Amino acid sequence: MRILLPAIFLTTLYAGGATAEQQSWRFDVALDGKPIGFHTFEISRNGTQEILTTEARFDVKFLFITAFRYRHNNTEVWENGCLASIDASTDSNGEKLRVSGAAAGNSFDLNSGSGSTVLPGCVQTFAYWRPDVLKASKLLNSQTGEYETVSVEFEQFEQLKVGERELEARRYRLAAESGDIRLWYASADDTWLALEAPAKGGRTISYTAVDLPEASALLANTQ
C-alpha cells in the first residue's frame, strides 16, 4: 500500500498567524473511516533555525492480523524560509526508504532511494500546516524524495467538526503527481484542520485533528 504522507514546511512558526517558540499538531488517522494510527508534528526554534520533528505510526489490521505496517520519522531544519536539511526514514511494510539532504549555496543536495540529485533554489516540502503551501508550484516529498509539480484550487467553504465544535473552513484541492490531496483551513485564522489523501486501491486516508497549536485561538473563541 502506498500512502501519500504529509510532510511539513517551516518558514515562520504559524499558529493561526501568531508566532510561538514551540508548536504541536496531533492527528488521528483513518483508512476508509477505520482508525489505523496517528501522526504528530512538533516545531521548535533554536536561534535563527526552525526545527521540525514528525512521527507517523499506522497499522492496518485484517481479521486481527496486521496486514500493513507503516512508520515514518522526519527531522527538518529551516533557515530564512528555505529547507536547510532533511533526514527522513520510512518503513512501509518492510520497504525501507531514506531521504536526506542539505542546502549548498543556491542549490540543495538531495539523496534518496533513486540516487543523488541537485535541486535548484529554495526547496520547500509539502507544507500543509502553513497556508503559503497553497501558492507553491514544486514540493519535495519527504517519503520518496520526489520533487513534485503541484497546483492548488480552492473548492468551497464547509462546516467542519473539530472536537465538539463546528468551524467554518475553506477546502482546497492540491493536485500532485502522486494524487490529489484535499486540505481544510479555518476561515477565521488559517489554522490547518484536516486532510484527505489517496491510498493504493482507491482507498482514502484521512487526518482528524485532536491537538492544534496553542489549542488554537480560533477554537477558544468558539466555546
Confidence (pLDDT) at 14: 35
Total domains, the chain: 1
Whether 5 is covered by a domain: the verdict is: no
pLDDT of the residue at 183: 97
At 72, the amino acid letter reads: H
Residue 16 has pLDDT above 60, yes or no: no
Residue 59 has pLDDT above 90, yes or no: yes
Distance CA 5, CA 73 (A): 11
Rounded Cα distance between 7 and 70, Å, is 15
Q: What is the CATH number of the domain that holds 101?
A: 2.50.20
Residue 151 lies in a domain: yes
pLDDT of residue 218: 53
Write down the residue that cell numbers 549555496 correspond to: 105
Q: Is residue 2 domain-resident?
A: no
Query: Residue 102's pLDDT is what?
Result: 97
Q: Residue 6 domain-assigned?
A: no
- Residue 131 domain-assigned? yes
Minimum mean pLDDT range among 41-50, 53-62, 84-93, 109-118:
41-50
What is the chain's Cα-based Rg? 17
Q: How many helices (H) and strands (E) does the chain have?
A: 1, 14
Asked whether the CA dihedral 1, 151, 98, 86 is positive or negative, the reply is negative
Q: Is residue 46 part of a domain?
A: yes
- The yes-or-no verdict on residue 139 having pLDDT over 80 is yes
- Pairwise CA distance, residues 117 & 38, whole Å: 32
Q: How many residues does the chain have?
A: 223
Give a yes or no: residue 8 inside a domain: no
One-letter identity of residue 71: R
C-alpha distance from residue 68 to each of 32, 64, 91 (Å): 14, 12, 11
Question: Which alpha helices (H) appear in the chain, and where do they start and end?
Answer: 217-220
Residues 6+ apart with CB under 8 A from 151: 137, 174, 175
> What domain range includes position 205?
22-220
pTM (whole model) above 0.85: no
Residue 4 in domain: no
Where does the pLDDT of residue 11 fall: very low under 50, low under 70, confident under 90, or very high at 90 and above?
A: very low
Can you tell me which residue has the cell 533554489?
A: 121
Residues 128, 136: Cα–Cα separation, whole Å: 11
**Confidence at 121, pLDDT banded by 50, 70, 90:** confident
Residue 223: pLDDT above 70?
Answer: no
Is the confidence at residue 111, as pLDDT, over 90?
yes
Please state the rounded mean pLDDT for residues 23-39: 94
